Structure 1
Amino acid sequence: MNGRTSRSREIGMLVARRLAFAVPVLAVVAVGVFLLAAASPFDPIHQYYGVDVFSATEADLAATRARLGLDDGVFQQLGRWLSGVLSGDLGTSRSFRQPVAQVVAERLPWTLLLVTVGLAVAVVLALVAGVVAAWRQGGLFDRAVTAVGHAMEGIPPFVLALVAIAVFALGFRWLPVAGLTDPGMPATVDQVARHLVLPALVLGVSQTPWLVLHVRGSLLAALGEDHVAGARARGLGEATVVLRHALPTALLPFVTLMGTRIPELVTGAVLVETVFSWPGIAEAVVTAALAVDFPMLAALSVLATAAVLLGSLLADVAVALADPRVVADG
């Protein structure tokens, strides 16, 4: 019981340290976003008005600038945004003309759905292909998986997205091209599921090469360890040796790798949502960036950073819980 209590205390301290570390990191990210946006050559007033900016009078433009606070200094705008955050107000998005909190609340569930399904696809593909490739090392499947994995490491998600659209949406016409539903249709489970298939597969496949090669390498290393040799010496079947003795050892570094892949997953979600017009939070990043939308950019950047920090923390906690030999030192 004392050992279990000590272990729980170590993990609790790990979580506490990571949460304390996250606060200054998120603050630095918010300040950095404001400074970078201030250096942008784009004028937010043009994005706010659109084509109407050419017919608007100077008085109208000046009044709008004053109302939106565009003439204020960057640090004054930053201070106003930070004070609002402390009071629970994330500000108003100039590009969406809605409260930032409302935009996030409307779009975040769709991004979570896409990322969750895409991550599940990547994990299943990596585990199945990686285990079979390592199990049949040197065989045709192993050589094919290794070659395809290395070849796809340098292909960005938007290229996979365009190829998938060309083949499955425009060529075979099996799946819809983009959007959440067909035009004029409500967001039913059937509609969302059909439109989710292609972007989720593209996002999942784009993350698979690193994962499948890592699973293959980790499993090959685990197959050479003493406890696996002992299992074979006891006459256990090869399937039992691989799946019950070698694979659990190989999965520990795989869980850690999943945590380090969160930034790539976030970046991939931005590209996939943009190509497929998926109405998620990542697609809003592009809109906010083009509009130099300070409040929206800061909120989305902080949210993405928080997701990366949380993913890394969860991966470390999972490894610490699964393997008592791991010291939860943060």
Structure 2
Amino acid sequence: MKWKYIAKRLLIAIPTFLGITVLAYFILNLAPGSPLDALLADPKISPAELERKRIALGLDKPVVIQYFSWLNMLLHGDLGFSYSTQRPVAAMIGERLPATACLAGASILLSLIVAIPLGIYAASKPNSKRDYVSGGISLLMMATPNFFVGLVFIYLFAIVFKILPSGGMYDSAGVKSGVALMRHMIMPCLVLSFQQIGGWVRHMRSSMLEVMQEDYIRTARSKGLKKWGVIYKHGLKNALIPVITVVGMSIPSLVGGAVITEQVFGWPGVGSLMVTAINGRDYPVIMGITVMIAAAVLIANILTDVAYGLLDPRISYK
């Protein structure tokens, strides 16, 4: 039944994916500006040359025709070529994807390692000083924008204390080592995790408080089991189920945060490529990144539902 459920979800994901591409493509074409704006800044270019360029890029055709031409290439595994660099979009994304995946993966791991214990700690004694302090700090973290946190971190750790590099992925000397990567990733990872930790702590606290009111928890306590033993052996697994949903649904906000974080720290990932493409109205690159993000979000949602069943056998896939 699990495989039938996954196949059903994949079939539902196909029209959802196509709907995302339609909305993204048409909204993109409604935005002011054109891929030819950079050419217009050249006083030597003639109207005839500009028109030839427009025809070569297919921008003279209606938007609907442009979309189906792009979709036909996508179905054949081709994301097209960048308007600005004339390079394959897939190659450009492939070069930047490892940097973003490394940063995002480290951010998710750090957020889980910090948020789950803090959420459990706050829920272990509700309405206490530790609970109020944890809740206040979590709200502050959720409300603070990534770019502001990034600028504060750069000022403190790179300028005042001078213990961490202010940006980039490796040292300016160009030596690519694991130590240099870790030093450069500390601040971007902390900034990208900042809001996530605040939100996940609150979700973990609420979920744990709800689970601790269940009858089987009272039964475990009545048997004389210690408090923390009851929490970790009986409560934690069920309390993680709602948190998994939050983690899965955090993928879009994680990507959005990566765009800002990568710009602040000069991190050479997909987020900074997206900003460059938007500024240059590079439609194929923008759509290529949109396709990647949409696929990642849809797959994450499916994996989240499957993880539900693994954690709780009572959940049916029917």
Return the match for 1:40 from 6, 31, 35.
31
SS class of match (1:98): coil
Whole-Å separation in 2 of the counterparts to 1:63 and 1:258? 48
Q: Give the AA of the match of 1:45.
A: L
Whole-Å separation in 2 of the counterparts to 1:210 and 1:50? 46
Deviates more, 1:212-221 or 1:184-193: 184-193
Return the match for 2:129 from 135, 140, 148.
140
**Aligned twin of 1:97:** 86
Whole-Å separation in 1 of the counterparts to 2:101 and 2:44? 41
SS class of match (1:224): coil
Once the 2 structures are TM-superposed, how far is the Cα of residue 211 of structure 1 from its aligned partner?
0.6
TM-score by length of 1: 0.90
Percent of aligned pairs sharing the same letter: 35
Q: How does 1:65-214 map to 2 (within 5 A)?
A: 65-214=54-203
Whole-Å separation in 1 of the counterparts to 2:313 and 2:147? 41
**Aligned twin of 1:13:** 4
The CA deviation string for residues 172-210 of structure 1, in whole angstroms up to 9 with x for no partner, is 122111111122313322222111111111111221111
CA contact (8 A) 2:245 2:304 kept: yes
CA contact (8 A) 2:119 2:205 kept: yes
Q: How many residues align?
A: 318
CA contact (8 A) 1:121 1:205 kept: no
Whole-Å separation in 2 of the counterparts to 1:267 and 1:69? 30
Return the match for 1:64 from 37, 49, 53.
53
Deviates more, 1:54-63 or 1:230-239: 54-63
SS class of match (1:153): helix
Whole-Å separation in 2 of the counterparts to 1:283 and 1:30? 21
TM-score by length of 2: 0.94
Once the 2 structures are TM-superposed, how far is the Cα of residue 234 of structure 1 from its aligned partner?
0.9
Whole-Å separation in 1 of the counterparts to 2:309 and 2:166? 42
CA contact (8 A) 1:33 1:297 kept: no
Once the 2 structures are TM-superposed, how far is the Cα of residue 96 of structure 1 from its aligned partner?
3.9
Return the match for 1:25 from 2, 16, 39.
16
Whole-Å separation in 1 of the counterparts to 2:127 and 2:31? 52
Whole-Å separation in 2 of the counterparts to 1:303 and 1:156? 25
Once the 2 structures are TM-superposed, how far is the Cα of residue 55 of structure 1 from its aligned partner?
4.0
Return the match for 2:262 from 262, 266, 273.
273
Q: Give the AA of the match of 2:34.
A: D
Q: Give the AA of the match of 1:217.
A: S
Q: Give the AA of the match of 1:14.
A: Y
Whole-Å separation in 2 of the counterparts to 1:186 and 1:315? 39
Once the 2 structures are TM-superposed, how far is the Cα of residue 50 of structure 1 from its aligned partner?
8.7
Q: Give the AA of the match of 2:203.
A: H
Q: Give the AA of the match of 1:17.
A: K
Return the match for 1:231 from 197, 220, 224.
220
Once the 2 structures are TM-superposed, how far is the Cα of residue 310 of structure 1 from its aligned partner?
1.1
**Aligned twin of 2:305:** 316
Summarize the Cα distance change of 1:278–1:54 in structure 2 as closer, same or farther, 3 Å threshold: farther
Whole-Å separation in 2 of the counterparts to 1:238 and 1:39? 58
The CA deviation string for residues 221-260 of structure 1, in whole angstroms up to 9 with x for no partner, is 2222211111111111122111111222211111122112
CA RMSD, Structure 1 to Structure 2 (Å): 1.8
